Copies of this chain bind each other. A is one copy, B any other.
Amino acid sequence: MPVASSTLNELTRIVGNDAVVKSRAGLHVYECDGYTLEKACPQLVVLPADTAEVCEVVRLLSDSGIAFVPRGAGTGVSGGCLPAEIPVMIGTSRMKRIRRIDLAERTAEIEAGMVNLDLTRAVAGDGFYYAPDPSSQNACTIGGNIAENSGGPHTLKYGVTVNHLLGLEVVLPNGELLQLDRTPGRPGYDLSGFITGAEGTLGIVTAATVRLLPSPESVATLLAVFPGVLEASRAVSRIVAAAIVPAALEMMDALVIEAVEAAYKFGFPADAGAVLIIEVDGLACGLDGHCEHISQACRDEGASEVRRAADEKERALLWKSRKRAFGAMGRLAPDYCTQDGVVPRSKLPEIAERTAEIGKRHGIRIANLMHAGDGNIHPLLLYNGEDSAEVARVLEASREILQACLELGGSVTGEHGIGVEKIGLMTESFGSEEIASMSELRSVFNPRGLCNPGKIIPDSRACVEVTRPRPRGGG
C-alpha cells in the first residue's frame, strides 16, 4: 500500500525536503545492504537530523500503521535492513555527532550514525580507542554495530559491541524515547543488552554511550605460513590453549591468499596453503616473549615460516590484505557467496575438512577466511551467477556447511546476523519454546510489528530459500 501523500507531507515537514529520498534513482542506493542476494526498494527514505526528529517520524508512522526499517551505513551482510515490503526506511546517516567525550571516565556518547572508525580517530590523539573493529569499520556505523552486536578481528581479546556499551538512547516503535543506563551494577533488567544484537526489531537506537580503552603501549603482528588449513587450525588450538590471549588470530587459505596477493601485493609466499595473522598487544617489554612462544607453537604444527611485521607500514598492509579480502575475491570468480558460521575452536580442523569435502562433492571452489581464534568461519563459495545449476549447488553447499557447524556444536552465524538471509535457519537453531519467548519479548517493545518486520522471528515470510533469486558477493 503506498504511503499516503498526507503522510509524505508530514514526513517532509518533520525532516525537511532535502532529507526525504523518493526518486527512483535516489532510492536505488537503499535497495540492499552487503547481502546482495535479495533486493527491494523502500517507497521512501527519511534522514532525520536528530533524535527529536526520529521520535516525531516514528510517532507519525506508528499512528498511521506504516512499517519502517532503520538503516546505518548498509554494510551489513545478512540483509538486516532489507526493506522487503516495508514502505519507509529511516536512515541515521545525518546523525553522526559526538555528544560528549569524557577521558577521565573513559566514555564517549555518540549518535548512532557515527562511523565506527571516526570515534577512534576522535580520541586516538589522547591515547584511547574504541575496541570493536568490524572489517567495514571505516564505513559502518555505531548504530548498525549495535543492531548486529558486531565484533571484528580483535573480538578474541576485547569482546563484541555489547561488552563496550554503557548506555543507549532508543526510540521505541511507538515513538517514545528511552534513555537506558548500562553502567555495571545498574539495577533492573538489562534492556540495553537486550536491544543490542536485536537487528533493529525492538526500536531505533539513536545514540550510545560506549567505553573507550587506552591504546596498547605496543603491538606485534605475526604472519605464519602453513602447508594447509589443517595445520593452521591445529596451531590455533595450540596458541589458544597456552596462557596467552592474542589480540587477533585470523586465518586465510590458499585461495584467499591468491586473491589478496594479486590485489595488495603484500608478498605472501606463492606456495602457502594457509596463513595465520596473529596479533599480540600490551607492554612492549612482553611482546618478544609472546611472539617467540607463538612462533614456536606455529612451527610445532608445521609452519614453514613465521615472520613479524617489521614496521607499522608492513603491519598496515598485512591488515589491509585481511580486512579487504572480500573486495579482492572478484579476481577469482564472477560471483561469490560469503558464509558465516561458528564452531568450537577445537573443531576448526574438522569443519575445514568438511567444508573441503562439501565443496568437492558439489564441484564448488570454496575459499576460507576465518576469525580463527573465535572459531568463526567465513567460507567464500565461488561461482558464476550465469550458471543456474551452479547457483543451486552453491545454495545447497552453504546449507550443508551451516548444518555441519550445528552438528559440531556451533551456530549458523558468527557475526553477520540473521537478517533475511538466515531467518529460515532460526528454527534449526532454536526450539519452539525459545522462539516463542523471543516473539513475546519482541511484542513488549514492538507490539504491532511495525519496526523492521520479518527479521529475527521466523514468520510466513521466512521461506527465503524459494524467493532467493541468486547468490552474489557478500561483504
Contacts and interface: CB of A to CB of B under 8 A. Distances in A.
A193 B162 contact: yes
A441 to B, nearest CB: 5
| Nearest 10 interchain pairs by C-beta | A283-B286, A214-B243, A285-B285, A185-B414, A440-B444, A185-B415, A193-B193, A104-B241, A187-B413, A104-B346
**Centre residue among A103, A237, A285 by max chain B CB count within 10 A:** A285
A185 B373 CA distance: 13
Contacts of A180: 434
Interface in A424-470: 425-426, 429-431, 433-435, 437-438, 440-442, 444-445, 456
A187 B438 contact: no
A345 interface: yes
Given A160-B185, A374-B184, A441-B441, A193 B191 contact: no
A240 interface: yes
28 contacts: A104-B345, A104-B346, A105-B345, A159-B184, A160-B185, A178-B437, A180-B434, A181-B411, A184-B414, A185-B376, A186-B413, A187-B412, A187-B418, A189-B198, A189-B441, A190-B196, A190-B197, A191-B437, A191-B441, A213-B245, A214-B245, A215-B243, A217-B286, A283-B285, A285-B286, A286-B286, A440-B444, A441-B441
Interface in A102-152: 102-106, 127-128, 149, 151
Contacts of A217: 243, 286
Interface residues of A, number: 81
A417 interface: yes
B411 A187 contact: yes
Given A215-B243, A285-B285, A444-B444, A342 B183 contact: yes
A286 B159 CA distance: 24
B193 A190 contact: yes
A155 interface: yes
A151 B184 contact: yes
A178 B75 CA distance: 33
A316 interface: no
A471 B17 CA distance: 62
Contacts of A342: 183, 185-186
A283 B216 CA distance: 13
Nearest to A416: B185
A185 B411 contact: yes
Contacts of A444: 437, 440-441, 444
B184 A160 contact: yes
A163 B157 CA distance: 12
A417 B185 CA distance: 7
B418 A241 contact: no
